[in-house]
Amino acid sequence: MDRDIGIEIVGLRLRNPFILAAGILGITGHSLRRVAEAGAGAVVTKSFGLEPRTGYPNPTIVEVQGGLLNAMGLPNPGIEALREEVEEAKKAGVPVIASVYGCSEGDYAEAARRAEKAGADAVELNVSCPHVKEVGAQIGQDPDLVRSVTASAKKSVKLPVIVKLTPNITSIVEIAKKAADGGADAITAINTVKAISIDIDVQKPILAAGIGGLSGPAIKPIALRCIYEIHKEIDIPLIGCGGVTTWSDAVEFFLAGASAVQIGTAIMYKDLGIFSELQTGLRGYLEEKKVESIKQLVGLACRNNNKTV
């Protein structure tokens, strides 16, 4: 008999632990629905702010060794458009998580409130975009701001609040503790790693914005280390994000302490078929290891490694 790979996280029941990451194919309600119909356990929208934003000029994305480098500039139609996207995505019957960003505590609280009104099942605070000034990582790199932004979003909604952290920081554990102090229901780790690629013919950065964020297989060991470190220090549900391309990558994240994983760049390599491939592989692993549920795997590598360095 097939192993049950369903999970419960932040009070939501997911049929499997594979969640679409923010920004990848979450461009419209229809694309979110398509991903859900392809088998995702939940979907995260692209990041919405209170006002529409055009984003950066092209080029905004470039393929590099080990992944993709992007600097889109948080393009979005403004949070008023979220309701329509959520309504469409929800037709596929999986939880829809709204990603929101802002420039202040008040912006995040208001965006979370509007996401709740739009019918989202949870909100993910993007405090981690690595290159848009005044939003994202400028907030996510300041421990006290992470705490206060999280606390005010929590105060403004009944929805579960997830905080997506940046790896572009000395200690992600310190930031994660502040998110937990602010009342976060879960943490997503990580957003992209700040990076650059240079065109040697024109002798300037390829991306119009110059610096961007690296995603894909190259950042998997970084993301995994972040989950491992946070799990060792803080008792809060974790969602792994960064370079998950195969079912065994996902298993590594569970063993490090994640209860679910987000899939982003891998969709570019494998298309939407990746969601059924991941499920089949994970079921096979649970069967082979005689493990009843994913819960039994979560953090096992931390418990099995009693060395502290």
The answer to whether the beta carbons of residues 74 and 103 sit under 8 Å apart is no
How big is the chain, counted in residues?
A: 309
**Phi, psi torsion values for 205, nearest 5 degrees:** -60, 145
Tell the smallest beta-carbon distance from residue 59 to ligand SIN (Å): 12
Between 90 and 164, CB nearer to ligand SIN: 164
The answer to whether the beta carbons of residues 249 and 274 sit under 8 Å apart is no
Render 87-113 in DSSP notation, one character per residue.
Answer: HHHHTT-S-EEEEE--SSHHHHHHHHH
Residue 129 is a catalytic residue:
yes
Name residue 39's amino acid: G
Between 3 and 131, CB nearer to ligand SIN: 131
Residues contributing to the site for ligand SIN (CB under 6 A): 23, 47, 70-74, 126, 128-129, 136, 191-192, 213
What 3-state class would DSSP assign to 119?
coil
Between 192 and 262, CB nearer to ligand SIN: 192
Between 73 and 182, CB nearer to ligand SIN: 73
Q: Which helix (H) or strand (E) holds 162?
A: strand 161-165
Q: Return the biggest CA–CA distance within the chain.
A: 58
Tell the smallest beta-carbon distance from residue 178 to ligand SIN (Å): 19
Helices (H), 157-198: 172-181
In terms of Cα–Cα distance, which of 13, 20, 44 is closest to 115?
44
Tell the smallest beta-carbon distance from residue 129 to ligand SIN (Å): 3
In terms of Cα–Cα distance, which of 186, 58, 189, 42 is closest to 121?
42
Instruction: Please state whether beta strands 96-100 and 238-241 pair in parallel, antiparallel, or not at all (unpaired).
Output: unpaired
- Given the residues 129, 226, 241, 302, select the one marked as catalytic: 129
Between 14 and 132, CB nearer to ligand SIN: 132
Name residue 149's amino acid: V
**Phi, psi torsion values for 198, nearest 5 degrees:** -120, 135
Between 31 and 279, CB nearer to ligand SIN: 31
Cα 243 from chain centroid (whole Å) = 11
How far apart, in whole angstroms, are the C-alpha atoms of residue 69 and residue 194? 9
How far apart, in whole angstroms, are the C-alpha atoms of residue 278 and residue 276? 5
Tell the smallest beta-carbon distance from residue 212 to ligand SIN (Å): 7
Q: Which residues are catalytic?
A: 129
